[in-house]
Amino acid sequence: MGRKFRPRLPAPGEVLYPLDGSPAVESVMSPSGLKLALYAWRVQQPKAVALFIHGVQTHARFEFLRHLNPGEPDLPSPAPPAAAAPAGAAAGAAAQAAPAAASGTAAAPEAAAKERRGRGKAKAVRPIGRQCLRWCIYEGSWVQQLNRWGCSVYAGDLQSFGLSEGWKGRRCSVERLDNFAMDVIAFAEFVAADISARPATGGSPAPSGDQQPPPIYLVGISMGGFSVIRALEIMGETHHWLVREAPTSEPPNQEAPAGPPRQGPPHSSTQGAPVEPPEGAPSAALSTGSPSGTLTEAPTGAPSGAPTGAPSGSSDDIRPRIVGCVALAPMLSIEKASSGAYNRTMTKVGGVLSRVAPHLGVVKVPPARLPWVDDQKNEDPLVTCPLKIPARLAAEVMAAVPRVHLNAKFIPVHIALLIIHAREDSIVEPQGSIRFMNESGAHIQKRRLDILEGERGHYLVIEPGNDEVLAAIKEWLRL
């Protein structure tokens, strides 16, 4: 894997991912004051809402959209969009230029300039720069399937990854690992506000007393799996409205806590019971626009940066709530991350280095099971692929992983939890997931653990066989 500490951000007019389904790109402010990128593939009247959180080094679109395997042929390149007619073309180009440039999907400024000159006929807008056509593909992705099943999908770039700003302007770096969890909370608050704002922007009708808002599910992989679980702990400890049970909702089916593994699908061993979200009207019609969301502030006495308030004007019985969490290969164990003579040595001095040289690469990243996954990571312009994880981030991981088990008691008992992990994961071993399910999170009423057997690796959304993983999630969500 090449040494690439800084991603190559898109130039004005550059289309990095022309096959990504053209999601709406929103800007969310984190509690630490950084602008975060959030992508939205919305449907009308969603039955449920999924918020995706990526892992270390990657970004949201790379992690959760489709990747072509080496043996698969290229998909047809999208036709260059036709420019608008001369009348009003200048206004249209000006309106689209600023947000498109930030999202990496901008129209070429040269073409816009030609339109402003009004030559009397439309011009084809040709993207400039290199395009990624073998990954970040909407067609056939988890996102498209969830949209077809009536689920709106949001995916966020954590701070210092993708198009989001980073601590001290750095990539793949963070001051405190909990800041990633705070990013998740900020994303979730925006999503809840966005769902509520849909009636004002031509979306779903406003929820009435007889119609419950769609449930929100957090879905994270690897470090993102850690972050969504940690976010639930913080919200539970601070009594955040997003994780409170809706007062008008019917009580959930009471089931005994998970005991010994029950018989599951051939590819997994399972525990616990699935959760069923409130029903809604499905539709696969994507809505457009980028409505603004409202981030709330923490009350006095809450942990630093923890946003716990409710959106202004919201009513308890119609606010969307987080009802469940899916953690894919979550970073709940650090044995492999600290294994090997070099990593063991750097772990011992990591605390000192994190203070004096926080951005120095110290911990080696294990390779993916499939080499082509690392090849695509290295070629992707927005993926941050250092040879070694920076000292501050590595030290934070070493300290935070044991703490996430201790604080699991704060996750509300009614929040459903599904953990999926490959037994042969070469990057994050499944023992942490097993411990969390059997011990740390044993109080959670509805929980299930799937251990995937056979040739399965860490990148469960990208690797072959990911359709089986998605099918298990669909069954659990009852979509």
Task: Evaluate whether residue 108 is within a structural domain.
Answer: no
Domain harbouring 332, CATH code: 3.40.50.1820
Q: How confident is the model at residue 344, as a pLDDT?
A: 57
Task: Evaluate whether residue 10 is within a structural domain.
Answer: no
At 14, list the tokens. 């550059």
Provide the domain limits for residue 60: 24-68+135-477
Task: Evaluate whether residue 109 is within a structural domain.
Answer: no
For helices 109-117 and 89-103, give the axis angle rounded to 10 degrees.
Answer: 170
Task: Evaluate whether residue 321 is within a structural domain.
Answer: yes
Task: Evaluate whether residue 127 is within a structural domain.
Answer: no
Q: Is the pTM of this model over 0.85?
A: no
Task: Evaluate whether residue 128 is within a structural domain.
Answer: no
Q: How confident is the model at residue 168, as a pLDDT?
A: 86
Task: Evaluate whether residue 75 is within a structural domain.
Answer: no
Task: Evaluate whether residue 81 is within a structural domain.
Answer: no
One digit per residue, pLDDT tens: the chain, 479 residues?
A: 445 555 677 777 788 999 999 999 999 999 999 999 999 999 999 999 999 999 998 999 999 999 999 989 988 877 765 544 444 434 333 333 333 434 444 333 344 444 434 433 333 334 445 578 999 999 999 999 999 999 999 999 999 999 999 988 888 889 999 999 999 999 999 999 999 988 644 444 555 555 789 999 999 999 999 999 999 999 999 999 999 987 644 434 434 344 433 333 434 444 444 333 333 333 333 333 333 333 333 333 344 455 545 444 445 557 899 999 999 999 999 776 555 554 456 556 656 666 666 677 777 778 899 999 999 998 999 987 656 788 888 888 888 999 999 999 999 999 999 999 999 998 999 999 999 999 999 999 999 999 999 999 999 999 999 999 999 999 999 88
Number of domains in the chain: 1
What number of other Cβ atoms are within 10 A of residue 169's Cβ?
10
**Contact yes or no for 293/189 (Cβ under 8 A):** yes
